[in-house]
Amino acid sequence: MQDITAQELKTKLANKEEFILIDVREVHENAEFNIGGMLWPLGLFPDKIKSLEGKENDEIIVYCRSGNRSGMAKSMLVNAGFKNARNLLGGMMNWQSEIK
């Protein structure tokens, strides 16, 4: 599945669409600014994937500060059989500069 832009994600959130939103940043980054995703720091992500069992067809959007760590998380999801994993392009840096 295609990755997602900040504007597309903002629209999905505003429309209260059904999807799973996961923040793979560290606790202190999430405390500074977040958009409501479940906090699963990348170091813990491989163990957390197990809790998504049965949701392999659900849309899962992952994000981090710049999009690099969440890109890794997306790859882990795809390798685990998740078909609709998406990465927030540019991460929270892009979100904060584009979404006013």
- pLDDT (tens digit per residue) in 74-91: 999 999 999 999 999 999
Has residue 25 been placed in a domain? yes
The domain in which residue 32 lies consists of: 6-98
Instruction: Report how far residue 81's alpha carbon sits from residue 11's, in angstroms, rounded to the nearest whole number.
Output: 27
Q: Is residue 75 part of a domain?
A: yes
Gap between the Cα atoms of 38 and 29, Å rounded? 13
Residue 58 has which token pair? Answer: 């659900």
Q: What average pLDDT does range 56-85 have in this prediction?
A: 97
Number of domains in the chain: 1
Answer whether residue 87 is part of any domain: yes
Here the CATH number for the domain that contains residue 57 is 3.40.250.10
Whether the predicted pLDDT of 100 surpasses 80: no
Residue 1 lies in a domain: no
